[in-house]
């Protein structure tokens, strides 16, 4: 059940196989009672993101793209409240890790006390068995997927579209940089990261380096997003602790965003058309080599 392109399979076959594999893993992980419910939900949401990334490779020509993309998006959202709670805790832990100076300890303790106490996990439990059943139904639909009559099944078309959206999102965060724009950039960068992982065999040495850099970028953007969400849970007052917490969050976000921009200036320096041409050459070379 590998997450990579296989030689001599068509683009449609590659997408069908990979989505089926990821759905099978998702079913296994959701039903694994040796893991905590939080871990099972987190893993399921990651599988949905990987599936949606692979679907995007076929977006220009896959007949069922809109329906299936929406289905996996909504399936992940079923458990979003649990993930939001975990993200807030992770944001505070990350702050505590990077802010080692003792003068920040009281501020971070105060931040931790602001986190919601209610756990959403109990409410999620009844959805597990239902979600497994729905995933089995989603797997059965895969056999109906096909190519649009007017479109050639080319994975590089989807890669180009995703990369182009990531480039646009990167430009927007540099020009304005609202929380919404940073979140959108994070989503597009993550899709592109999954694409480079899936296409890594086209040129492993080069693609692994790019994929590793994108992994680092998405970690930076993920930490920034968690801090943005954390800020929304702070009391809307002018207390000394609230102001100190806001400053601490702002300073950390500034560093994360600067690091992300530095990485992105290299990762998104190429024009989308040039990137597509380069990957078409990689693909043509790779498919002509015998296994």
State the total domains in the chain.
1
Q: What pLDDT is recorded for position 232?
A: 85
DSSP state of 147: B
Q: Does the pLDDT value for residue 262 go beyond 70?
A: yes
Whether 5 maps to a domain, the answer reads no
pTM to 2 decimal places: 0.92
Whether 1 maps to a domain, the answer reads no
Q: Which structural domain, as residue segments, surrounds residue 162?
A: 11-288
Whether 229 maps to a domain, the answer reads yes
C-alpha Rg value of the chain to the nearest Å:
21
**Residues 83-96 pLDDT 10s:** 677 778 888 888 88
Q: Taking a C-beta distance cutoff of 8 angstroms, is the pair 216, 193 a contact?
A: no
CATH number for the domain harbouring residue 231: 1.40.20
How confident is residue 102, by pLDDT bands cut at 50, 70 and 90? Answer: low
Whether 128 maps to a domain, the answer reads yes
Minimal CA–CA distance to 91: which of 111, 63, 76? Answer: 111
d(CA 180, CA 281): 36
**Residues 41-67 pLDDT 10s:** 889 999 999 999 999 999 999 999 999
In this prediction, what percent of the chain has a pLDDT beyond 70?
93
**Residues 122-181 pLDDT 10s:** 667 778 989 999 999 999 999 999 998 767 789 999 999 999 999 999 999 999 889 999
Whether 104 maps to a domain, the answer reads yes
Whether 196 maps to a domain, the answer reads yes
Whether 6 maps to a domain, the answer reads no
Phi then psi for residue 42, to 5 deg, are: -60, -45
Q: Taking a C-beta distance cutoff of 8 angstroms, is the pair 53, 191 a contact?
A: yes
Whether 186 maps to a domain, the answer reads yes
How confident is residue 234, by pLDDT bands cut at 50, 70 and 90? Answer: confident
Phi then psi for residue 145, to 5 deg, are: -70, 145
Angle between helices 155-175 and 11-30 (to 10 degrees): 70
The Cβ of residue 199 has, within 10 Å, a number of other Cβ atoms equal to 23
């Amino acid at each position: 059940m590998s997450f990579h392109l296989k030689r001599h399979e068509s683009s449609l076959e590659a997408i069908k196989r990979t989505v089926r594999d990821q759905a099978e893993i998702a079913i296994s992980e959701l039903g694994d009672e040796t893991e905590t419910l939080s871990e099972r939900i987190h893993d399921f949401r990651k599988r949905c993101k990987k599936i949606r990334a692979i679907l995007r490779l076929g977006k220009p020509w896959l007949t069922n793209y809109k329906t299936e993309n929406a289905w996996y998006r909504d399936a992940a959202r079923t458990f979003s409240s649990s993930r939001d709670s975990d993200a807030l805790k992770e944001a505070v832990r990350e702050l505590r890790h990077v802010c080692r100076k003792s003068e920040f300890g009281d501020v971070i303790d105060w931040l931790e006390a602001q986190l919601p106490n209610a756990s959403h996990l109990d409410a999620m439990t009844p959805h597990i068995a239902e979600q497994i059943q729905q995933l089995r139904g989603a797997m059965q639909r895969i056999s109906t997927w096909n190519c649009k009559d007017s479109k050639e099944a080319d994975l590089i078309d989807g890669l180009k579209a995703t990369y182009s959206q990531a480039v646009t999102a990167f430009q927007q965060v540099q020009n304005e940089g609202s929380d919404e724009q940073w979140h959108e950039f994070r989503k597009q960068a993550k899709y592109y990261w999954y694409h480079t992982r899936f296409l890594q065999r086209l040129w492993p040495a080069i693609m692994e380096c790019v994929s590793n850099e994108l992994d680092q970028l998405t970690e930076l953007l993920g930490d920034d997003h968690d801090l943005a969400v954390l800020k929304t849970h702070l009391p809307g007052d002018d207390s000394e602790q609230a102001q100190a917490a806001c400053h601490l969050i702002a300073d950390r976000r500034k560093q994360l965003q600067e690091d992300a921009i530095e990485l992105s200036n290299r990762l998104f320096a190429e024009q989308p058309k040039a990137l597509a041409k380069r990957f078409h050459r990689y693909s043509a070379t790779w498919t002509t080599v015998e296994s």
